[in-house]
A and B are shown apart, each in its own frame.
Chain A
Amino acid sequence: MKLGKRSTLLMGVATAVLLTTAGCSGGLLGGGGNSTADSGPIKLAMVIPISGSSAPTGAYMRNGAQMAVDEINKDGGVLGGRQLELDVEDEACDAQQSVAGANKAVSNGAVVSVGGYCSGATLPEIPIFQKADIPMIIPAANSQDLVKQNANNVFMINGTGKQQSTAALTFIKKQGFATVALVDDNTSYSKDINTETRSQIEADGTVKAVLSTSVTAGESDYSAVVRDIMGANPSLVYWTGYYQEGGLIINQLKNAGFAGKIMVADGSVDPSLAQIAGAGAEGVYATMTQTPETLKGAEDWIANYKKAFKSDPGPYSTQSYDAVRLAAKAIDDAKSTDGKAIIKALEAIDGFQMFSGPLKFTPERTLSSGGFVILAIKGGKFVLEDDLS
């Protein structure tokens, strides 16, 4: 989310040096780490935010993945009896930390990576895992920038930014919003949805994008963007950033007397959004992939999750759960822990059942349909508004 705020300011040079050396060691260690022994547990790397402002989501993801690991191990593991083991590393939504985490996971001998939440932090992990022939099943990060890398080891099981923008536009047209203001927070993920939605709106022609602007994440006062929006007076504001700033902007817009509707992207779908936004959050729309609460038939799964972790599942719990199951399936299909064989097995997967539906990767190694739906806040909670079908 935050591409190194303080570090870039204070230690730019030092980090550049660190990054270079870290990149090198990734390649060196990768060669050794991949030749895992034929017995013992198989390690799955999970580089996710454990600290920093995205830490709550990181916990949801870790729990979801851990749940799948426990279930698979209970059922006899993979490759005829080998146990899975989750190797969780902290990325803190920061490019420098994610590189360090990925390198650590590679040297620990991870076979598949099942992490990735903040796109800006996931991006620099790609070359590290690629050099070590480790396939990355990315459960949450979904910037188009990740697809553009065209790396043969990257498999995204969350809808992409492009698919999210398409879902947003479909809903905008369905509801008949004539003018739209797009606001992002200048991070890779957020800007991606903003520009993608704008270009789709322009190509489509029925709706008008009256404003497309950015704010600085981490501040409290967003009066500048509120003035811009009030001036442009759109019928819908689409906020593509994360929930902290999203909550503040919704609150400040409502206080300024904004009468139009507000929609947020999946990074803002968090229970805290409504708390921060206060009363103004009611009726806010969101583009989001299915969460456990909105999925039909997930009640048993939710009950198991609650039993194991004494808390409710949250955003990306299901995707992380599916990522681990998919990794186990691919290892079994490949009949080995060799990265290249697992990548082949992932490419060949057809009809694997996940929460988002049967899986078959596109040639870009993304989902063929994003599975985005529209949620709305009712009584302080996100509920399904429109499944866009």
Chain B
Amino acid sequence: MSQLIWDGLFVGSFYALIALGYSMVYGIIKLLNFAHGDIYMLGAFVGFAALTSLGGIPASLSIGALLVVMLVSMLLTGTAGVLIERLAYRPLRGAPRLAVLITAVGVSFSLEYGVSAIAGPNPRAFPIRLEGNVFSLLGARISLPQIILMLIAAVLMILLNFYVQKTSTGRAMRSIALDRNASLLMGINVNSVITRTFFIGSALAGAAGVMAGAYYGKIDFLMGFIIGLKAFTAAVIGGIGNIKGAMLGGLVLGFVEAFGAEWFGGQWRDVFAFAVLILFLTLRPTGILGERVTERV
């Protein structure tokens, strides 16, 4: 039981980090950015490239090196997110929702096969691997790397929450989510705020990519696809557009998967997880924390 909760929490914190980007972008420009999972993949590959160019790293420094590489990767994936928004989404700002959605799928493919063309289609083993002693706590097997990664995820999410709630840019983001035109009239530079949103969302996904590479040890150019879908599910469960909802949704999805696998057997885990998504879309499309938004004309 405690093992299930722990595994759910750990996987859920990855889902939450990626779901945040989905949710923030949706909240602010009502776009389902399907390329978001691939930003996570891009982050892992940037981390891979940075670590490979650094050469051999002694095991004692691996946490430090990981943090540095994670920051580099966050900067680069954030920039990539900004570029994607500028090149692919902004020209379609006024276009029908479907056109933008399909563009997002196109961006996703471009990223996947672009990385495949540059880095090769073979999976890569990550240069550093976080390994630590496993100890038992209340019957659950817990390892030090898991705790470190969850702490990093928690710190990133707390920082984000602070940024959105307490700074003027955060306030601008929230006001654009409420009403873009009114925000424009109030003198908010909408484009620059949207750019920042993409930067932050993509940077978080990039961080998750580096963390996944260092923990699981393998990266490949399609690694973002399934986790992107899962993060989307998490965002919907929590209430898409809602930042706290994305965090909560990630953890809930982690639990749903862990318990679903326990109750129905491992091969039914994804069936159960996506059935929960359908259930939420039917019964409570606004998610756990989402509020019903009246359509403005």
Contact = CB atoms under 8 A, between A and B. Distances in A.
Interface in A24-59: 51-53, 55-56
B265 interface: yes
Contacts of B131: 255, 278
B257 interface: yes
Interface residues of A, number: 34
Given A53-B121, A55-B120, 11 more contacts: A5-B226, A51-B113, A51-B121, A213-B266, A218-B222, A219-B226, A221-B216, A224-B261, A227-B266, A248-B216, A272-B122
Given A53-B123, A227-B3, A248-B217, A215 B266 contact: yes
B30 interface: no
Given A227-B3, A256-B141, A220 B266 contact: no
A378 to B, nearest CB: 18
A6 B223 CA distance: 13
A51 B116 CA distance: 8
Q: Tell me the interface secondary structure of chain A in the complex.
A: helix
Interface in B118-176: 120-123, 125, 129, 131, 134, 141, 143
A6 B38 CA distance: 13
B225 A218 contact: yes
Which one of B113, B120, B121, B129 has the greatest number of beta carbons of chain A within 10 Å? B121
Contact of B266 (A52, A228, A255): A228
Contacts of B266: 213-215, 224-225, 227-228
A257 interface: yes
A181 B272 CA distance: 23
A117 to B, nearest CB: 14
Interface in A152-199: 186
B267 A223 contact: no
Interface in B205-254: 212, 216-218, 220, 222-223, 225-227
Contact of A55 (B4, B11, B14, B121): B121
23 contacts: A5-B222, A5-B225, A5-B226, A6-B225, A10-B105, A53-B121, A55-B120, A55-B122, A213-B267, A218-B222, A218-B223, A218-B225, A218-B226, A220-B223, A223-B11, A224-B257, A224-B262, A227-B4, A228-B265, A244-B123, A244-B218, A248-B216, A251-B216
A224 B265 CA distance: 8
A251 B217 contact: yes
A57 to B, nearest CB: 10
B125 A276 contact: yes
A256 B270 CA distance: 22
CB-CB nearest 8 A-B residue pairs: A224-B261, A214-B267, A275-B125, A55-B121, A223-B7, A220-B216, A276-B218, A224-B266
A215 B225 contact: no
Given A224-B269, A276-B217, A56 B122 contact: yes
B258 interface: yes
A6 B7 CA distance: 27
Contacts of A10: 105
A23 interface: no
A315 interface: no
A8 interface: no
Contact of B141 (A5, A214, A257): A257
Interface string B253-295: 0000110011001110110000000000000000000000000
A247 interface: yes
A224 B258 contact: yes
A336 interface: no
A127 B113 CA distance: 30
Contacts of A51: 113, 116, 121
Nearest to B123: A244
A307 B272 CA distance: 52
A227 to B, nearest CB: 6
Contacts of A256: 134, 141
A216 interface: yes
